[in-house]
Amino acid sequence: MNEIIQKQDQELKDIIYKVPALITLYVASQVAEGHLVPAEEKSAKIYLSILCNQANESLKDYFIKVKESFDEDIEMLDKELPKDSDKRKEKIEQMLKPVKTFLYQVPEPTGILFKDALLGFVSHARDYRQDTLEDVVFPFASDELRKIENERLRKILG
């Protein structure tokens, strides 16, 4: 995966490696106005460790590189992003837009595996809270996982 990322411009590369930290902060903003929540951060780190060891071979290099700077990225982004929850979420969504475009350009099956790993990251980062996080979840979801998430949302909201 790192080989694909290295072909991108420097700004996009930097954001791609910060996606797990951005997702974690997005999730935390759902439950704590402008504050990083230790439970979400801990769950995100656990899942990141799992991905470093058990992800598909084509993705391991990405998650290993992410893990190397995850703590610093979380800390830096938490300081730089707006504290107001709505403004923070809006800024994160804005930062993720070029990544969403990039994800749709990643060749299959790596692209599907990567999107699914990020969807799993959202689930772990939010510590299985029942909020929907639609703006973050759906752009990264494969069609099959999107169907599953839609069913879950129907049960929650129905």
pLDDT tens, position by position, 87-108: 988 898 899 889 888 988 899 8
Q: What is the pLDDT of residue 40?
A: 74
pLDDT in tens, 127-146: 544 444 444 544 555 555 55
- How far is the C-alpha of 74 from the C-alpha of 5, rounded, in Å? 20
Distances (CA, A) of 56 to 46, 63, 64, 73, 74: 17, 10, 12, 24, 25
Angle between the N-to-C axes of helices 38-54 and 110-125, in degrees from 0 to 180, rounded to the nearest 10:
150
Tens digits of residue pLDDT in 27-62: 777 665 556 667 777 778 888 888 899 888 999 999
Residues 32-51: b if buried by 16+ CB within 10 A, e if exposed: eebebbebbbebbbebbeeb
107 preceded by a cis bond (ω within 30 of 0): no
Is the pLDDT assigned to residue 147 strictly greater than 70?
no
> What is the per-residue pLDDT for 151?
53
Q: Tell which residue, 98, 109, 100, has the closest CA to residue 59.
A: 109
Question: Residue 127 and residue 98: Cα distance in Å, rounded?
Answer: 26
Look over the chain and give the mean of its residue pLDDT values, rounded to a whole number.
78
CA–CA distance, 98 with 143 (Å, rounded to integer): 20
Q: What is the largest CA-CA distance in the chain?
A: 44
Percent of the chain with pLDDT over 70: 72
Confidence of residue 13 (pLDDT cuts 50, 70, 90): very high
In which band, very low, low, confident or very high, does the pLDDT at 26 lie, cut at 50, 70 and 90?
A: confident
Global pTM reads 0.77
Asked if the model's pLDDT at residue 14 lies above 80, the reply is yes
Domain extents for the chain? 2-157
> Once rounded to an integer, what is the mean pLDDT over residues 55-79?
93
First to last CA, the chain: 39
